[in-house]
């Protein structure tokens, strides 16, 4: 059995960090809508130009844009994937369900990571990434060997534009209003698993593995 999963949770809770670890460990595709959109913004593609201001303000890109983007990505995927940052609205969740059904697939887990707001703010304000290779860091929890410089290529690390305190507050507000209802949506479908994300990256990873094993989606390590 392989994983057809979505990751849920507020901004900065650790979705991307855990998705990368799970995808590498079990050889799954990891699709992050945030990464796809940021790449489009950096390359100034037509999509990037359309979404840049919305992302900068902490708002959500329209369901129409996101659903048609994801349709193309998911169509081309081999078996097994983790969707990170999608779906983010009820409209996106129902679109995804219908689309997967049409291609003979279906989700088998919705993994929500839960962390208190004050810790989320610490994680987001301390997050840095390498503009060359994309590797992510945290100045305290996951620092590079040399202060401010990427371990892979020596590039100077930068902060995401939407990781400023006022934008973080708006992203949290938008999460509660538009995305939090998905917790019940997946609970009602028997797919929800909630993991306490307050421990270290490795501790959270262990909890995620336990859930995947309990659901019979991966073999016991």
User: Any idea what DSSP says for residue 195?
Assistant: E
Q: Which is nearer to ligand AP5, 1 or 173 (CB)?
A: 173
CB atoms within 10 A of CB 95: 20
Q: Which is nearer to ligand AP5, 1 or 184 (CB)?
A: 184
Catalytic residue of the set 15, 38, 123, 128: 15
Q: Which is nearer to ligand AP5, 3 or 175 (CB)?
A: 175
Interatomic CA distance for residues 26 and 212, integer angstroms: 11
List, in sequence order, every beta strand (DSSP E) within the chain. Answer: 4-8, 29-32, 81-84, 109-114, 127-129, 136-138, 192-196
> Least distance (Å) from ligand AP5 to the CB of residue 24?
14
Q: Which is nearer to ligand AP5, 3 or 70 (CB)?
A: 70
- Residue whose tokens read 């989606």: 217
Catalytic residue of the set 38, 123, 127, 128: 127
The answer to whether residue 88 is catalytic is: yes
> Least distance (Å) from ligand AP5 to the CB of residue 189?
19
> Least distance (Å) from ligand AP5 to the CB of residue 87?
6
**Start-end of H helices in the chain:** 15-26, 33-42, 46-57, 63-75, 90-102, 117-125, 165-174, 181-188, 201-214
State the pairing for strand pair 136-138/127-129.
Answer: antiparallel
Interatomic CA distance for residues 167 and 175, integer angstroms: 12
Which residue minimizes CB distance to ligand AP5?
34
Residue ranges that bind ligand AP5, judged by CB under 6 A: 11-17, 33-34, 37, 54-55, 58-61, 66, 85-86, 88, 92, 123, 127, 136, 138, 141-142, 162, 171, 197, 199-201, 204
Asked if 155 and 133 count as a contact pair (C-beta separation under 8 A), the reply is yes
Interatomic CA distance for residues 146 and 179, integer angstroms: 37
The answer to whether residue 171 is catalytic is: yes
> Least distance (Å) from ligand AP5 to the CB of residue 169?
12
The answer to whether residue 75 is catalytic is: no
Catalytic residue of the set 20, 25, 50, 160: 160
User: Any idea what DSSP says for residue 155?
Assistant: P
Catalytic residue of the set 38, 123, 128, 171: 171
> Least distance (Å) from ligand AP5 to the CB of residue 19?
7
CB atoms within 10 A of CB 203: 12
Q: Which is nearer to ligand AP5, 3 or 66 (CB)?
A: 66
Q: Do you find a cis peptide bond into 87, omega within 30 degrees of 0?
A: yes
Which residues are the active-site residues?
15, 88, 127, 160, 171
């Amino acid at each position: 059995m392989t994983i057809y999963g979505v990751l849920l949770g507020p901004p900065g809770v650790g979705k991307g960090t855990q998705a990368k670890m799970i995808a590498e460990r079990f050889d799954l595709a990891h699709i992050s809508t945030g990464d796809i959109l940021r790449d489009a913004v950096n390359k100034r593609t037509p999509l990037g130009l359309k979404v840049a201001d919305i992302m900068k303000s902490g708002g959500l890109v329209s369901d129409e844009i996101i659903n048609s983007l994801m349709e193309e990505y998911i169509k081309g995927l081999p078996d097994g994937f983790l969707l990170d940052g999608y779906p983010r609205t009820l409209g996106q969740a129902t679109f995804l369900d219908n689309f997967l059904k049409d291609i003979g697939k279906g989700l088998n887990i919705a993994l929500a990571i839960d962390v208190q707001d004050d810790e989320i703010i610490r994680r987001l304000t301390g997050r840095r990434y390498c503009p060359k290779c994309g590797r992510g860091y945290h100045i305290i929890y996951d620092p590079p060997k040399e202060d401010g410089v990427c371990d892979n290529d020596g590039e100077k690390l930068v902060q995401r534009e939407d990781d400023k305190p006022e934008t973080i507050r708006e992203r949290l507000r938008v999460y509660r209003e538009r995305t939090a209802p998905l917790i019940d949506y997946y609970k009602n479908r028997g797919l929800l698993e909630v993991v306490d994300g307050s421990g270290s990256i490795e501790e959270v990873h262990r909890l995620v593995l336990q859930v995947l094993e309990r659901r019979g989606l991966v073999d016991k390590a």
